[in-house]
Amino acid sequence: MAEEPSLKLRTARTIKWNLIDKVSSQVLYAVTGWVLANRLSQEDFGLVGTVLIFQAFANIFVDSGFSSALLQRKNPSQLDYSSVLWFNITVATLIYAVLWLAAPLIALTFNDERLVDLSRVMFLAFIINATAIVQTNRLMKQMTVRMIAISNFIGLIVSSVVGIYLALNDFGAWAVVWQTITLATVKSLILWITSRWLPSLAFSFESIKCIIGVGVGVMGSSLLNTLSQKICSIIIGIFTGMRALGYYTQADKWSVMGTASLSQVVTASFLPVLSQFQDDRERFSRAAAKMNRFTAYVTFPAMCMLIAMATPIFHLLFGTKWDASIALFQILLLRGIFTILTSLYNNYIVALGRSSKIIVAELVKDIASIIAIVATLPYMGLSTPDDPTQGLRIMLWGQLAASVITWFVTLKMVSNLTGRGTGRFIVDLVPYLMQGALITIVMLALSNVITGNIPLLCAQFAAAAIIYLGINAILHSTIQHEMLQYIFYRFVKNKKDVKL
């Protein structure tokens, strides 16, 4: 029992630094994204979006699911970490060589020769990232993620300067490419300099063999998940061209800032804790219940607010240049709610050492996704110069349906594994879902009576915050109480430290 307060405090600190990391990252991404979106064309973003399709798949094979496997493992050894590092770097180098040779074929598939040089440079990023996977993993395992946040922040500042400079000097898509390379390089260097860990000059097949059981399951799940996410980009790029893909890439990029950030906070903060309870089903179930409520408490208002504020945000940042992306952005955010919840449930499965179950859920998602694509593909031709994303919107509604099915299937699996009923999981979500729906209605109503983007955004945010915090205070929300208590405690403690 004596360890519980320490564990709770470490978890709170982990969440705090993960949130600081993600918020600061998204602010810098937003600033850079604003400049790039106003300077680069829809075709430029289409080119970058095409390269990112292949980079996403390459990153999965480079990591091979070992990051999650090491987090799930109770006590990884020096040899385990070293073996995974050398494995990651070797795989990254081999994949880069294959993709370098395949660059002309990529350009031929998407009918644009510019992709040859762009992809060959951009793909260097996943080799650089491979050198920092274990460094990052060790800090996450220790639940000391402060330096991860700092390395991300400094890397984003430096890479943002590079990207903005190149964009302002008309380098087009190359601005994003060199921004990506710079970010990976700076982050990796900082983590190597500050981590005080060096790998052994040794490699153990036994270590890889012990880890690969969980790793293969996670990798398979990630591969299928990425396929379902990127298949839209592939189809849009092949069937509708770079301009339409540019609109989709822009919507996807901005929606991912919210969705992926929340999903990563959940994964990085909760998986190390859950792995400690994998042999105690009762404590695991209690921890899962609290994590369900915390995730719902944060996710529903965040996604609902962004959906309601989408139009004034886009108009404030870009004028009307990217109006065709707004509806896509909103649908992707709605889909993101189920993505975050599914990611949370996947953590439970991985923590219990049953990662092969994730593949089943992903197969269901991919099958549903493919069926939805086949059903909606004929409508891609509905896009017109005046409404270039009409067909894309129909396709994304189909993908949303696939995500809902995946969420439910994963929920049933987690319910069976934890012995906690499906109904209890859903009950954890309902209060926050209803509150999210309420603040969305209020915020959309305000858009009908307030003109001007800045006044509207301020009014919407204030109304949502007052309603949400107020309702949870009236309902005596334990999650909100503990979160505010922790924030207040740290604020008072820091003030005392300053006085001393």
83-119 pLDDT tens trace: 888 888 888 888 889 889 988 988 888 888 888 999 8
Predicted local confidence at residue 146, as pLDDT: 72
The vertex-254 CA angle with 250 and 256, nearest 5°, equals 115
- Better-predicted residue by pLDDT, 101 or 237: 101
What DSSP state is assigned to residue 325? G
The torsion defined by the Cα of 23, 28, 29 and 35, in degrees rounded to 10, comes to: 150
Predicted local confidence at residue 333, as pLDDT: 93
**Rounded Cα distance, 187 and 129, in Å:** 8
Lookup: tokens for 435: 């509150």
- Alpha carbon distances (Å) from 386 to 144, 152, 233, 318, 380: 51, 40, 21, 18, 14
Predicted local confidence at residue 223, as pLDDT: 63
CB of 257 closer than 8 Å to CB of 30: yes
Give percent of the chain with pLDDT exceeding 70.
Answer: 78
- Better-predicted residue by pLDDT, 170 or 63: 170
**Rounded Cα distance, 53 and 231, in Å:** 9
Inter-axis angle of helices 281-308 and 453-474, nearest 10: 150
Does the pLDDT value for residue 127 go beyond 90? no
- Alpha carbon distances (Å) from 61 to 118, 350, 424: 21, 18, 36
Neighbours of 256 (CB within 10 A): 18
pLDDT band at residue 470 under the 50/70/90 scheme: very high
Lookup: tokens for 187: 């982050």
Half-sphere exposure of 129 (CA within 13 A, CB side): 21
Mean pLDDT of 33-61: 77
Does the pLDDT value for residue 230 go beyond 60? yes
**Rounded Cα distance, 72 and 75, in Å:** 9
Which is nearest to 424 in space by CA: 285, 298, 266?
285
Neighbours of 158 (CB within 10 A): 16
CB within 8 A of 436, min separation 6: which ones?
Answer: 300, 301, 303, 304
Does the pLDDT value for residue 76 go beyond 90? no
pLDDT band at residue 2 under the 50/70/90 scheme: very low
For 104-135, give one letter per residue: b (16+ CB within 10 A) or e. Answer: eebbeebebebbeebbbebbbbbbbbbbbbbb
- Alpha carbon distances (Å) from 110 to 47, 113, 157, 177, 237: 9, 9, 32, 18, 7
Helices (H) and strands (E) in the chain, counts: 19, 0
CB of 368 closer than 8 Å to CB of 399: no
Q: What is the per-residue DSSP string for 227-246?
A: HHHHHHHHHHHHHT-HHHHH
CB of 239 closer than 8 Å to CB of 38: no
pLDDT band at residue 144 under the 50/70/90 scheme: low
The vertex-497 CA angle with 495 and 500, nearest 5°, equals 110
Phi and psi dihedrals of 241, rounded to 5?
95, 175
438-467 pLDDT tens trace: 999 999 999 989 988 999 999 999 999 999
Mean pLDDT of 146-171: 85
Mean pLDDT of 307-317: 91
**Rounded Cα distance, 295 and 460, in Å:** 22
Q: What is the per-residue DSSP string for 273-322?
A: HHHHTTT-HHHHHHHHHHHHHHHHHHHHHHHHHHHHTHHHHHHHHHTTTT
Q: Which 3-state string (H, E, C) describes 145-160?
A: CHHHHHHHHHHHHHHH
Mean pLDDT of 299-325: 90
Lookup: tokens for 47: 């080119």
426-443 pLDDT tens trace: 998 999 999 999 999 999
Please tell me whether residue 99 adopts helix, strand or coil conformation: helix
CB of 151 closer than 8 Å to CB of 20: no
Lookup: tokens for 79: 């040899």
User: Measured in whole angstroms, how far is the alpha carbon of residue 158 from the centre of its chain?
Assistant: 22
Lookup: tokens for 370: 């493919």
Predicted local confidence at residue 1, as pLDDT: 38
